[in-house]
Amino acid sequence: MDSKTFKVPAISCNHCVHTIKMEVSELPGVQSVQADKDTQLVTVNWTEPATWEKIRQTLVEINYPPEGLITLN
């Protein structure tokens, strides 16, 4: 399983957190999505067929682009 934690500066409320969790968790292979409105950090765990590029692209499409990877696994 792969995992990344990253900052999403566009997170400002619980609705943002909910949107990110719903959209990213719909990708095949995504195991879990955690997001925190206070720290603006998101952690995604996934296996194939999901890829970091597909996850990143989804976040950009829904206007929550990631920046500043915290961990690279």
Domain ranges for the chain: 2-72
> How does residue 73 score in pLDDT terms, banded at 50, 70 and 90?
very low
Q: Which CATH number fits domain 2-72: 3.30.70.100, 3.40.50.880, 3.40.50.800, 3.40.50.720?
A: 3.30.70.100
In whole angstroms, what is the distance from residue 30 CA to residue 11 CA?
Answer: 20
> How does residue 9 score in pLDDT terms, banded at 50, 70 and 90?
very high
CB 27 within 8 A of CB 41: no
Could you tell me which residues are beta bridge partners of residue 40?
A: none
In whole angstroms, what is the distance from residue 68 CA to residue 45 CA?
Answer: 17
> How does residue 70 score in pLDDT terms, banded at 50, 70 and 90?
low
On the CB side of 30, CA atoms within 13 Å amount to 21
Q: What is the pTM of this model?
A: 0.90
Amino acid residing at 73: N
Q: What is the mean pLDDT of residues 18-31?
A: 98
